[in-house]
Amino acid sequence: MTRRWTRRDGVMSTDLGNELVVLNSQTRAMHTLNETGRVVWTWAQHGLDVVVEQLCTTYAIDTDTARSDATELLDQLVAKGLLDEIG
């Protein structure tokens, strides 16, 4: 089963089109995600396979690279308390 993530309660995201600002209202820490990170954030709730597909389609990169980069970023977002992995 593909891994999926959900936004943690209290996390705010402001989508500026080509980048994203994310606020963890518990810690008050703010983060910016670039265009690629925005794609990962937007599709994370649909699962890793969908994220990888979106990255490959949008940026014409190979599946292994997309999967590796997305997983690394998603793990960071979990570590920062912005996402929870749900399965």
Partner 1 sequence: MELRVLGRRLVVDVDDGDVVRWIAEHWDFPATANALDAEFTIEVTGGESSASPDLTFEDPRGTVTLTITGAGAAIGIAGTPFRAWTELYRTIAEAMSASGIILLHTAVITRGDRTMALCAPSGVGKSTTAMAAAARGWTPLAEDLAWLDPTTLRIFGADRRINLREPSLGILGELHPGIDPGRPRRIKYEVSYDQLGGRVWASTLTDVVDLRRDDGAPSAWTDLGRAEIVMTLLRSTGAPAMAANRDRLSAQLASVARRLGGSRLVIGSTPLPL
Contact segment (CB under 8 A) with partner 1 among 28-36, 40-48, 52-60, 67-75 equals 28-36
Instruction: Select the residue interacting with partner 1 from 2, 10, 62, 76 (CB under 8 A).
Output: 10
Which one, 13 or 71, has the nearer CB to partner 1? 13
Residue 29 interacts with partner 1 (CB under 8 A)? Answer: no
Is residue 74 within 8 Å of 2, Cβ to Cβ?
A: no
Instruction: Select the residue interacting with partner 1 from 4, 5, 6, 32 (CB under 8 A).
Output: 32
Closest CA to 73 of 21, 43, 37, 48: 37
Is residue 65 within 8 Å of 72, Cβ to Cβ?
A: no
> Does an H or E element contain 81, and which?
none
Q: Which residues bind partner 1 (CB under 8 A)?
A: 9-10, 12-16, 19-21, 23, 25, 28, 30, 32
